[in-house]
C-alpha cells in the first residue's frame, strides 16, 4: 500500500512540474452553441411549476414559477420578474415540467414530458396556459421572430384568457383610440407585432366588441438609455429595453384571474404584465 501511495505522489509531482513548466500551453474549451429559452406560467388553477432540461446538466432550469411569473409593479409598470431568457444548449433537447412542491409526491409529478429543437443564436418562449382542472392546460413552445423595428419600437400582446379581447395602444398622456390596435385577439393566442414611434405607451384592454376596459389602462415597460459616468460614445452595453428606446420589442401578457381555492397564486381579476422581447442596440461606435 505504501509503495502505491509513493508512486501516486510521484506521478502527481511530475504532473504539476510539467504543467508549471509550460505556461504558454492553451487548453481549449468547447464553444457551446446556445439559444435563449424562457418559461411563462399562465395556468390559473394549480401549483407553481419547475421546468427542467433533463438530458444534460446545465444552469437552465426555471424553478418555482408561479402563476403570472411573480408580477412586480415599479414606477407604475408591472413586469413578471420570473420571465427571463436562460442560456440553453442548442440542438434536440428533452425537458419536463413538474409541479413545484415540498413533498416528493408533488415535486415528482410530471405535467409535460417533451422534446424541442433549439437553434443556436435564436430565442424561444415556452407558454403553459389554460385550466388544469378541466383538462384544458396546454404547452406552446415557439421561436421568437422579431423584425428589427429600427428607429421605432415593436409592440405585441399575448392573450392567455379564455375569451377574445380588443387591445388598443396609445402614447401615455393621450387617450385610447376608437379603432383597436388588435381587434378580437382570440383566446390563448398571441398577436403579430406592430411598430410605433418611441414613447411611453399604454395598453387598453376590453372584451372583444366592448367599450368597457377590463382594468385600468396599463403603462408598458418604459426602458432607459445606456448610461455611464464615462459617457456613452464608447459604452459597449445596451440600454434597458422598453417603449421609449428605439429598437426595443415589448409584449403585454393578459392573464385570467386565478381560480378561487386553487393552489395558484391569488389574483382576483383579469390582469396584465409586461416583458421585453428585443433589446435596443448598443450605442453607435461600440
Residue holding cell 409584449?
A: 251
Kindly state the percentage of the chain with pLDDT values over 70.
88
Residue 154 has pLDDT above 90, yes or no: yes
Distance set, CA 214 to CA 161, 206, 221, 269 (Å): 12, 5, 20, 9
For range 167-171, the mean pLDDT: 98
What is residue 226's three-state secondary structure?
coil
Residues sharing a CB contact under 8 Å with residue 75, sequence separation 6 or more, in sequence order: 222
**pLDDT category, 151, cuts 50, 70, 90?**
very high
Output the nine-digit C-alpha cell for 170: 396609445
pLDDT value of residue 130: 97
Q: What is the pLDDT of residues 33-42, one digit of tens each?
A: 999 999 999 9
User: Which candidate, 144, 281, 257, 276, places its Cα nearest to that of 201?
Assistant: 276
**pLDDT category, 1, cuts 50, 70, 90?**
very low
For range 163-176, the mean pLDDT: 97
For range 27-34, the mean pLDDT: 83
**pLDDT category, 181, cuts 50, 70, 90?**
very high
Q: What is the pLDDT of residues 91-135, one digit of tens each?
A: 999 999 999 999 999 999 999 999 999 999 999 999 999 999 999
For range 245-267, the mean pLDDT: 97
Distance set, CA 195 to CA 162, 182, 279 (Å): 27, 12, 15
Amino acid at each position: 500500500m505504501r509503495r502505491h501511495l509513493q508512486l501516486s505522489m510521484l506521478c502527481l509531482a511530475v504532473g504539476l512540474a510539467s504543467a508549471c513548466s509550460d505556461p504558454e500551453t492553451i487548453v481549449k474549451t468547447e464553444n457551446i452553441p446556445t439559444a435563449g429559452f424562457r418559461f411563462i406560467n399562465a395556468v390559473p388553477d394549480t401549483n407553481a411549476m419547475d421546468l427542467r432540461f433533463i438530458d444534460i446538466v446545465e444552469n437552465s432550469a426555471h424553478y418555482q414559477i408561479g402563476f403570472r411569473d411573480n408580477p412586480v409593479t415599479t414606477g407604475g409598470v408591472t413586469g413578471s420578474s420570473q420571465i427571463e431568457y436562460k442560456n440553453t444548449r442548442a440542438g434536440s433537447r428533452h425537458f419536463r415540467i413538474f409541479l413545484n412542491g415540498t413533498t416528493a409526491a408533488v415535486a415528482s409529478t410530471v405535467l409535460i414530458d417533451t422534446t424541442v429543437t433549439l437553434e443556436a443564436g435564436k430565442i424561444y418562449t415556452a407558454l403553459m396556459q389554460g385550466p388544469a382542472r378541466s383538462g384544458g392546460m396546454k404547452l406552446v413552445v415557439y421561436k421568437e421572430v422579431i423584425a428589427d423595428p429600427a428607429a421605432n419600437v415593436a409592440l405585441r400582446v399575448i392573450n392567455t384568457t379564455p375569451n377574445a379581447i380588443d387591445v388598443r395602444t396609445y402614447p401615455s398622456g393621450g387617450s385610447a383610440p376608437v379603432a383597436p390596435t388588435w381587434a378580437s385577439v382570440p383566446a390563448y393566442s398571441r398577436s403579430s407585432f406592430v411598430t410605433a414611434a418611441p414613447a411611453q405607451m399604454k395598453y387598453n384592454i376590453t372584451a372583444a366588441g366592448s367599450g368597457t376596459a377590463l382594468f385600468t389602462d396599463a403603462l408598458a415597460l418604459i426602458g432607459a438609455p445606456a448610461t455611464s459616468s464615462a459617457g456613452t460614445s464608447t459604452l459597449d452595453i445596451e440600454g434597458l429595453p422598453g417603449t421609449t428606446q428605439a429598437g426595443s420589442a415589448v409584449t403585454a401578457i393578459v392573464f385570467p384571474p386565478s381560480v378561487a381555492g386553487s393552489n395558484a397564486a391569488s389574483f382576483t381579476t383579469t390582469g396584465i404584465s409586461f416583458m421585453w422581447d428585443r433589446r435596443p442596440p448598443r450605442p453607435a461606435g461600440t
